[in-house]
Amino acid sequence: MTKSLLRAAVALALSSLCAASLPAYAEAPAPAVQAATQGARGLLLTTAQGRLRIEPWSDRIVHVLAGPASGWDGNYNPAVIAQPGKVDWRVTETPEYYQLATPALQVRVARDSGKLSFLDAQGKLLLAESGRDIRQDGVTQGFDYSGPVFGLGQHQNGKFDYRGNTVRLQQVNRDVAVPLLTTPDGFGILWNNAAVTEVEVGLPAGHHPVSIRSEAGQGVDYHFILGPELDQVVAGYRELTGRAPMMARWTWGLWQSKEHYKTQAELLGVAARYRQMKVPLDAVVQDWQYWQPGAWGDHQMDPARFPDPKGMVDQLHAQNVHAIISVWARFDAGTRNGAELQAAGAMYPTLYNNVYPAGKGYWYDAYAPAGRKLYWEQISRSLGKAGWDGWWLDASEAELGGWPGQMREVTTAAGPGKQVYNAYPLLHTSAVFEGTTKDAPSKRPFILTRSAYAGQQRNAALTWSGDTMGTWEVFRMQLPAALNFTLSGIPYWSADIGGFFGGDPADPAYAELYTRWYQFGAFNPMFRVHGTGESKEIWRFNAATQKILRDTTQLRYRLLPYIYSASWDVTSRHGTMMRALAMDFRADAQAVATGDQYMFGKALLVAPVMTPNTDVRTVYLPAKTDWFDFHTGKRYAGGKVVAAKADIATIPLFARAGSILPLGPDVQYADQKSEQPIELRVYPGQDGSFELYDDAGDGPGYTNGEYATRRLSWNQAGAKLSIAPWQGGFPGMRREQAFVVRCAAAPAKPGVRVVAGATALEVALPGCR
């Protein structure tokens, strides 16, 4: 059996195991309230099942704990790092309920049942509990809610709205468990339980309209987060679990990778050929098996194949190409690093069978603080000397022997594996993030990881969708998986362009799939080619396909000022770059239900083509705004479905009226300086604004205020664009910037060239309506 077929068969087997259900649910008696007191942190109630606590953490967030009568302060939860803030709250009571209210939120506890209901400041009911059950074999919380349910991580089942389905939160290759449930109806729920969990949504035979059921935990533990906008829910989640730091500018360029480059010469040759062909490129990736046989985990490159790792990375840097390398949490028996971790008590004792290739290995305990520190020290003292720019953490679920459920049997430093199961990738990425911050302070940390858990955005970690198959069916599953992942509060996602398994660039059918995936990838946060089998560098494809790939890459690089500004919005305002339509148009029912389109930033609507032999695809344009075809400037009224041109060279793109889109010059890498102007495309129809962001492109300076923003404002009535001067600054900043201002509705008209400096400018675009 070939490697690809073997790994695909294993993946299919794992998917079947993941579908297994938790033990049957049993309803417990209703916990009537027996007593209620007001404490320093909130409302404390005694019920037949134990104690119920309602703690306000902010005007819009409350923490709910229902568990044992004493000695319990919540489940194991490394995700939440915030503390309750200062909140103006008060408690009142009626014959029917107790109420804790903040200026934005009301929480009521029914006296007869102990069930909670959540209302906004105007008394509108948002969510009500329908029952809870706390037993030795798990905990369940039911909710009376029938609206759309999103989030919950990444699940490649093709589902966008989870109604009518069960979602299993269990870390495994291609399935990522993030226990944040979000809705367009004004709220989110962060479920603070790292055990394997099932979320049932709108099942006809379900015990509750929505139930969250974990197989371990001493009690019910969750944060209710008030919106009403989904951006506000995501912001609340990140205030609880940590901000997303800025990635370096080069992160948003093209990444070329494969499984795997076998020699130093091969890796250098790939970068050199991209530069020779003048195809933009910012990073190459060294995947696994660069080590000698039996040395997996010693973090040493095989000197016969990689004789000078530092010289190799230096040569890439000289070409303005960044370099990332794969590291695993796994260790071959007999390795020096493995023995060191074992001596420190930071290695699981089981010798697991490899998924691939044949062999056995140990996995380190990322739950142990000393284990995390030592794990990074081992990487830093070996691979770190070469100057790599980022770290690829493969199999970070952790994979162990490849069979879901194995983590249950492990005793970790944080407790039984059954209780802490899903949190491994958060702790593992924390090890590398904290170590990189300490040992490479001049660089912004970057981590690519196959798995994620709540809070992972604070570790500069970007998750990809795992070992996917290169088929149209799997391709179509990527978009709802991605949108639910970003609706889970973690902003950065990607997929292996073209799928990991299968695909021959010489096959015209695969070239079509690859082209469509590449176009989609250009509008993902991360733009990365990867896969096993035949290499997928641009020159592997025929001339016609190469032309489309070049044009798509060029468009991605022209969009870098827009993308980099969007990444600042993620860091500074808890924004989201890859946005389900529900984030911007939650009052539009058709937009909310649309899972095959999305907003990339707040200006561009992307409708990727995910079917073969397609020249036209239908696109829904949300209501209450006009839209412009990005390619032609043609204007459309919102609230309609249109037939968009979608030949093999075209991905349907639309810009929202009132948008100001900055397009940079053609460059070969993200940080390349250019004397050419930035184009500002104005999409008329309503007033609008955009904050253009810039900084040094890498390093921690932005955390100390070393950055600049420029406000661009469009006044529709006067048909004028205002360009404000830079606010702030950073070393090496260009104080003057040339712009060409164009009306996107009239693309044939010449633009107006201006140079913006220390004073504000106004640019008139007569007739731009």
Q: Which two tokens stand for residue 457?
A: 């955005």
Q: What is the mean pLDDT of residues 683-704?
A: 98
* Mean pLDDT along residues 101-124: 97
- What digits encode the pLDDT tens for the residues 252-310? 999 999 999 999 999 999 999 999 999 999 999 999 999 999 999 999 999 999 999 99
Catalytic residue among 133, 200, 221, 394: 394
Query: What is the predicted pLDDT for the residue at 25?
Result: 53
* Rounded Cα gap, residues 597 and 606, in angstroms: 6
Per-residue tokens: 283: 């990073």
| Residue 537 annotated as catalytic | no
Tokens of 327: 């590291």
Whether 687 is catalytic: no
What pLDDT was estimated at residue 48?
84
Residue from 42, 33, 222 nearest 139 by CA: 222
DSSP characters for 153-191?
EE--SS-SS-TTEEEEE--BTTBEEEEEEE-TTSEEEEE
Q: How many Å from the N-terminal Cα to the C-terminal Cα in the chain?
A: 62
For the chain, the average pLDDT equals 95
Single out the catalytic residue among 175, 298, 397, 629. 397
Q: Is residue 571 helix, strand or coil?
A: helix
Percent of the chain with pLDDT over 90: 94
The pLDDT assigned to 206 comes to 86
List Cβ<8 Å contacts ≥24 apart for 18-22. 18/168, 18/170, 18/172, 18/175, 18/404, 19/168, 21/166, 21/198, 22/138, 22/196, 22/198, 22/213, 22/215
Question: Looking at 198, 467, 695, 698, which residue is catalytic?
Answer: 467
Closest CA to 531 of 258, 145, 292: 258
Render pLDDT for 724-760 as a digit per residue (tens, 0 to 9).
999 999 999 999 999 999 999 999 999 999 999 999 9
For the CA atoms of 129, 131, 134, 137, what is the dihedral angle to 10 degrees? -110
Report residue 631 as tokens: 């390619």
pLDDT at 644: 98
Note the pLDDT of residue 364.
Answer: 98
| Mean pLDDT, rounded, for 485-494 | 98
Sheet containing strand 604-606, strands side by side: 578-579, 598-600, 604-606, 653-656, 626-629, 635-637
Contact 763, 720 (CB under 8 A): yes
Per-residue model confidence as pLDDT tens digits over 635-654: 999 999 999 999 999 999 99
Block residue for tokens 């100001």: 660
Is the distance from CB of 340 to CB of 378 less than 8 angstroms?
yes
Active site residue 397: yes
Cα dihedral value 272, 276, 278, 280, nearest 10: 0
Rounded to an integer, the average pLDDT of 437-442 is: 98
**pLDDT tens digits, residue range 621-637?**
999 999 999 999 999 99
User: What is the identity of the amino acid at 305?
Assistant: R
- Interacting residues of 308 by C-beta distance below 8 A, sequence separation 6+: 264
The length of the chain in residues reads 769
**Contact between residue 241 and residue 81 where contact means Cβ atoms under 8 Å apart:** yes
